[in-house]
Amino acid sequence: MILVTGGAGFIGANFVLDWLGQSDEAVLNVDKLTYAGNLGTLQSLQGNSKHVFARVDICDRAALDALFAEHKPRAVLHFAAESHVDRSIHGPADFVQTNVVGTFTLLEAARQYWNGLPETEKAAFRFLHVSTDEVFGSLSATDPQFSETTPYAPNSPYSATKAGSDHLVRAYHHTYGLPTLTTNCSNNYGPYHFPEKLIPMMITCALAGKPLPVYGDGLNVRDWLYVGDHCAAIREVLARGKPGETYNVGGWNEKTNLDVVHTLCDLLDELSPRQSGSYSEQITFVKDRPGHDRRYAIDARKLERELGWKPAETFETGLRKTVQWYLDNQDWVQNVMTGEYRNWLVKQYAA
């Protein structure tokens, strides 16, 4: 059995679904079920004996110890995190608690469990920490892409707390010998993405006839990674990654936010056209967010060179799959569009 934290969130749930779709190994899914955790995403696993769900906060050491003792996982895959930069600006305390204190608590529980394993199981155990490219800070248009040796320079409370969690994981390998692995990924997109992030928010607002809010001049650049490709990369790192190493996971798709929104509008014009005109007419520029990083870009050559992974989807194929999924799954979208989420959109984009 593997233990997955945050397995009801966007990337974690996609990983759990992919894992159980191609493996007979069971998953212990640990999630606190905050606003972004959604058991509806895992509805297809109801009655599946290979999926064991535990509603547990990763800051709860006693609960974690009990789970390790009962289920005896061979690996931990740590997805659980507060992840939205805008929310971290308005409420950084939750990010410190989950991303730093939660990771520390999970590391301590894993270390105690690992120390008690027989030698063969101890040698095979892995703690895989899923992180972000945002820990590296911001690039100019001419800077080289982030590599695994790029110095950390986080600029938001979110990225600072993720950087702190990365450092803790590294320290637990160096100091205690815990066999850790860290992945730093670029912007993910795909099915089951909570609709406060750029791509699902734009799809949802477009279909509702609402403005499509674009920060600043819309020229901030991100590298985009289809979530299914990310899950495949994580499986490779878990299976063959070297303990103590970090691996960058990217899609080789640098796009400005405005390019992403226009591409989405073009796809929606084709797949679900308005009565008249284009969805691009709904694009609205809003005040830029504080400290908005200009460019992220991932160099994923180490992962390809050492483990043979490279993305299967282009941005165009992955985005078409994503748009079609949202069009086909409007019930899922409406179920997560709670009052809290609507109030958040009003607060964030009122200007």
- Encode pLDDT of 290-324 as tens digits: 999 999 999 999 999 999 999 999 999 999 999 99
Distance CA 237, CA 229 (A): 13
Q: Is residue 102 part of a domain?
A: yes
* Average pLDDT of the segment spanning 37-45: 90
Range of 22's domain?
A: 2-193+224-253+294-313
- Of the residues 113, 158, 189, 279, only one is catalytic, namely 158
Assign 341 a pLDDT band (cuts: 50, 70, 90).
Answer: low
Residue 256, pLDDT above cutoff 90: yes
- How open is the CA angle 31-104-122, to the nearest 5 degrees? 85
Look over the chain and give the mean of its residue pLDDT values, rounded to a whole number: 95
Q: Which residue among the candidates 57, 86, 134, 313 is catalytic per the annotation? A: 134
Residue 158 designated active-site:
yes
Assigned domain for 94 exists: yes
Q: Which helix (H) or strand (E) holds 127?
A: strand 126-132
Six-digit token string for 5: 């934290």
**What integer pLDDT is reported at residue 38 of this predicted model?**
86
So what's the pLDDT on residue 35? 79
- Residue 290, burial from CB neighbour count under 10 angstroms (0-12, 13-18, 19+): exposed
Q: Which of 129-138, 274-283, 309-318, 340-349 has the lowest mean pLDDT?
A: 340-349
Q: What is the mean pLDDT of residues 20-32?
A: 97
pLDDT at 342 over 90: no
| pLDDT tier at 34, thresholds 50, 70, 90 | confident
pLDDT band, residue 350 (cuts 50/70/90): low
In a domain, 163, yes or no: yes
Residue 349 in domain:
no
> Higher confidence at residue 194 or residue 117?
117
pLDDT tops 60 at residue 338: yes
Residue 195 confidence (pLDDT) = 85
d(CA 334, CA 204): 9
Instruction: Answer yes or no: 119 catalytic.
Output: no
- Band of the pLDDT at 348, cuts 50, 70, 90? low
Q: Would you call 133 a catalytic residue per the annotation?
A: yes
Q: According to the model, what pLDDT value does residue 344 have?
A: 60
Instruction: Give domain status of residue 259, yes or no.
Output: no
Backbone phi, then psi, for 105, in 5-degree steps? Answer: -65, -40
Alpha-carbon separation of residue 118 from 42, 115, 300 (angstroms): 34, 8, 35
* Within-domain flag for 30: yes
Task: Tell whether 330 is covered by a domain.
Answer: no
Read off the pLDDT of residues 129-165 as tens digits, 9 standing for 90 and up. Answer: 999 999 999 999 999 999 999 999 999 999 999 999 9
DSSP assignment of 194-256: -TTSHHHHHHHHHHTT--EEEETTS--EEEEEEHHHHHHHHHHHHHHPPTT-EEEE--S-EEE
Q: What's phi and psi for 176, nearest 5 deg?
A: -105, -15
Cα angle 285, 289, 295 (rounded to 5 degrees) comes to 90
Q: Map residue 109 onto helix, strand or coil.
A: helix
Asked whether residue 239 carries a pLDDT value surpassing 70, the answer given is yes
Q: Say whether pLDDT at 55 is over 70.
A: yes
- Is the CB of residue 213 less than 8 Å from the CB of residue 282? no
Look at the chain and report how many structural domains it folds into. 1
The CA-CA-CA angle for residues 242, 248, 254, to 5°, reads: 165
* Distance in angstroms between the alpha carbons of the first and the last residue of the chain: 48
pLDDT of 226 > 70? The answer is yes
In this model, does residue 225 exceed pLDDT 80? yes
Output the domain CATH number for residue 70.
3.40.50.720
Out of 57, 86, 133, 313, which one is annotated catalytic?
Answer: 133
pLDDT digits (tens, 9 = 90+) for 166-187: 999 999 999 999 999 999 999 9
| 240: amino acid identity, one letter | R
The two tokens of residue 307 are 């483990």
Predicted local distance difference test score (pLDDT) of residue 127:
99
Q: Give a yes or no: residue 17 inside a domain.
A: yes
